[in-house]
Amino acid sequence: MNRRLATLTLAALSLACIQAGAADYPDKPVRMIVPFAAGGGVDNISRVVATALGARLKQPVIIDNRPGANANIGADAVAKAQPDGYTLLMGATFLSFNRATMKQIPYDAAKDLIPVARTGKAPFVLVVPATSPLKSVAELVASMKAHPDKASYGAVGAGSPTNLIFPKNTGTSPVQILYKGGAAAMPDLIAGRLTYMIQTTSEVLPHIASGKLRALAVTGTTRFKHLPDVPTMKEAGVSDLEGTGWWGLFLPARTPASVVARLSDEIQAVMKQPDVVAALDRMGIESAPMPAAQFQPFFTDELKSYADVARQFNLSTE
């Protein structure tokens, strides 16, 4: 009984200290954990946001790359961090599809993380090496069916519904090759060691522009403004791939409401800065700020949507 009382007392004291410190937040550097390797899509937007956010907070926002386990290493580190506002997660769609398709995850994205603010959104792009003879999705599918033992694709997350639905709905069975970040996969893709990849815009647009990759289709319901001649997946004959990617900041559960509100407000301002909007646009990412009051129900809907898709298509990685 005495041990339990002591534990409860320490927990209460810790919470009181966190709440007291919230009034002066932030008074030291803030860490933004990116659960992928440097140079990938999540990392790219994180660095733009971190620089601008640090200027507004008048404290450095330091990027901490924690790749591995389908981004669960980094996400779990934030979920278990002190809820004081000094450890942020740059989350993305991986939080939704990991929860929907993976059975063993050390944290619950719905309970252990607080959605603070959305930052951006963009479609995914299906690309092949520029040296590939394949010029359309139909040609890609026909080739993979004719040579199933030679077909492969790069993936950053094993549980991505986009990566799982594409083979399922095209009747193909390419081998999945996992990477810790999109940037790590690019040399193999460009060299032709991978057949194709479905990846975020910021990672593939520069290589499309330089002529190293060829875009065959984009996800979403409309064509992508940076690639107006590239059809949507539906136009290319592949259904159920209308979802797009998004990015947003999260904090550990039990973070004081005042800290959540402060960061939410600052992110709204950051994402409207002309230099930030322009920097993201060059990556093919649309600045899409959404405050906590809207981002929280948005995230809840995303979790449900991905869970529904996982059940509908029997998607699972374990």
Q: What is the pLDDT of residues 257-300, one digit of tens each?
A: 999 999 999 999 999 999 999 999 999 999 999 999 999 999 99
Q: What integer pLDDT is reported at residue 220 of this predicted model? A: 94
At residue 287, φ and ψ (nearest 5 deg) are: -65, 120
Q: What integer pLDDT is reported at residue 313 of this predicted model? A: 81
Which CATH topology does 2-122+245-313 take? D-Maltodextrin-Binding Protein; domain 2 (3.40.190)
Label residue 5 by pLDDT band (50, 70, 90).
low
Q: What is the pLDDT of residues 48-101, one digit of tens each?
A: 999 999 999 999 999 999 999 989 999 999 999 999 999 999 999 999 989 998
Label residue 182 by pLDDT band (50, 70, 90).
confident
Amino acid at 220: G
Q: What integer pLDDT is reported at residue 48 of this predicted model? A: 98
50-to-2, 43, 55, 118, 308 alpha-carbon distances in Å? 45, 10, 9, 14, 33
Beta-carbon contacts of 195 under 8 Å, excluding residues fewer than 6 positions away, are 128, 132, 140, 143, 144, 150, 151, 152, 153, 174
Residue 130: which of 210, 237, 218, 201 has the closest Cα? 210
Q: What is the pLDDT of residues 184-211, one digit of tens each?
A: 999 999 999 999 999 989 889 999 999 9
The more confidently predicted of residues 162 and 251 is: 251
Q: Is 11 helix (H, G, I), strand (E, B) or coil?
A: helix
Q: What integer pLDDT is reported at residue 159 of this predicted model? A: 65
> Is 90 exceeded by the pLDDT of residue 133?
yes
Where in the sequence of the chain do the CATH 3.40.190.10 domains occur? Answer: 124-218
Region of 69 please: left (phi>0), alpha (psi -120 to 50) or beta.
left
Q: What integer pLDDT is reported at residue 234 of this predicted model? A: 97
Q: What integer pLDDT is reported at residue 104 of this predicted model? A: 87
DSSP lists the bridge partners of residue 31 as: 62, 87
Instruction: Give the span between the Cα atoms of 126 and 290, in whole angstroms.
Output: 27
CATH architecture assigned to 124-218: 3-Layer(aba) Sandwich (3.40)
> What token pair was written down for 296?
């929280």
> Could you tell me how many residues make up the chain?
318
Q: What integer pLDDT is reported at residue 115 of this predicted model? A: 98
Question: How many C-beta atoms lie closer than 10 Å to residue 176's C-beta?
Answer: 15
Residue 77: which of 112, 49, 102, 43 has the closest Cα? 112
pTM to 2 decimal places: 0.84
The more confidently predicted of residues 290 and 315 is: 290
Instruction: Give the span between the Cα atoms of 237 and 217, in whole angstroms.
Output: 10
Where in the sequence of the chain do the CATH 3.40.190.150 domains occur? Answer: 2-122+245-313
Instruction: Give the span between the Cα atoms of 144 and 127, in whole angstroms.
Output: 14
Q: What is the pLDDT of residues 7-30, one digit of tens each?
A: 555 555 555 555 555 679 999 999
Label residue 107 by pLDDT band (50, 70, 90).
very high
> Is 80 exceeded by the pLDDT of residue 309?
yes
Q: What is the pLDDT of residues 150-181, one digit of tens each?
A: 999 999 877 678 898 999 999 999 999 999 88
Q: What is the pLDDT of residues 212-248, one digit of tens each?
A: 999 999 999 999 999 999 999 999 999 999 989 999 9
Question: How many C-beta atoms lie closer than 10 Å to residue 258's C-beta?
Answer: 13
